A = this chain, B = another copy of it.
Amino acid sequence: MNDSGLVRRQSGVALWRQIADRIRAAIADGSYDETGMVPPETVLAADFGVNRHTVRAALSALTQEGMLRPVQGVGTLILRRERLNFPISRRTRFTEGIGTQARELSGHVLDHAEEPASAVVAAALDVAPGTPVLRIESLRMADARAVSRSTAWYPLPRFRGIADVYARTGSVTAALKDFAVEDYVRVKTEISAVHAEPGDLSDLGLAPGAIVLVTAALNADPHGLPIQYAVSRFPADRVQFTVEG
């Protein structure tokens, strides 16, 4: 199922990395589920039309990522990792959304500060540009792996101090409840994908060339007042979204 594809040279992406990306994708869509192993290096080399050394470099990178374990005399075992599914709907909640897909979920506040609203943030929160807003940087983990890195903006003075509550509870929903927001709805979500930037490499533990899914989301209270605008970055090899109509 991984045939029909010569790999492209002189493209600025090393052959071993192109091959690593394709093997990762093949593992994700279950192509090797029957054996639980990657095909032998010589077979892969023939399939991709490259030298065995090049395949070895690709497998070595995937082994480094913790996705494979080579066993001499046996083959290269696949250590399966499922992709977390993150539902997006009018009632999007991070913790409920991931639900039972991970044993351990947590949210961490990395930093927070009050600052004047940029044009984009001001438009989203429906305030004048330059109005003070609260910015919170956070990291979400599932089973000890980073699944999102967010920057969220909240209007002031309504939510002054919410960062402390979030830091204590690890939940946005709980923190909002503390500020008398019993319910809220997801008004709009923009989804795009870009290559990992230097910040993603450290925050999300990614390699250069990796893919980051980016969402820009607006949440509002039941009266329609914007309460949060957030830009979040997700590692595409660990997360997907589902939009339920």
Interface residues of A, Cβ cutoff 8 Å to B: 4-8, 11-14, 16-18, 20-22, 25, 28, 57, 61, 83, 85, 88-90, 185-195, 197-199, 201, 207-209, 211, 213, 236, 240-245
B192–A245 CB distance below 8 A? no
Which DSSP category, helix, strand, loop or mixed, fits chain A's interface?
mixed
Residues of B within 8 A of A201 (CB): 8
A191 to B236, CA, bound (A): 10
B241–A190 CB distance below 8 A? yes
A13–B209 CB distance below 8 A? yes
- From A20, A25, A192, A244, residue with most partner B Cβ within 10 Å: A192
Residues of B within 8 A of A209 (CB): 11-13, 17-18, 21, 195, 209
Asked if A7 meets B198 with Cβ closer than 8 Å, knowing A14-B13, A90-B245, A211-B211, the reply is yes
A216 to B17, CA, bound (A): 26
Partner of A236, one of B17, B61, B85, B193: B193
B243–A4 CB distance below 8 A? no
Shortest 7 CB-CB contacts between residues of A and residues of B: A12-B17, A5-B198, A192-B240, A11-B208, A12-B14, A13-B209, A193-B193
Q: Which residue of B lies closest to A196 (CB)?
A: B21
A194 to B28, CA, bound (A): 10
A201 to B11, CA, bound (A): 11
- From A4, A187, A195, A244, residue with most partner B Cβ within 10 Å: A195
Residues of B within 8 A of A57 (CB): 12
Q: How far is the CB of A117 from chain B (nearest CB, A)?
A: 17
A90 to B244, CA, bound (A): 8
Contacts A/B (CB < 8 Å), 19 sampled? A5-B197, A8-B201, A8-B207, A12-B13, A12-B208, A12-B209, A13-B13, A18-B208, A21-B194, A25-B194, A83-B192, A90-B245, A188-B243, A189-B243, A190-B240, A190-B242, A191-B240, A191-B241, A211-B211
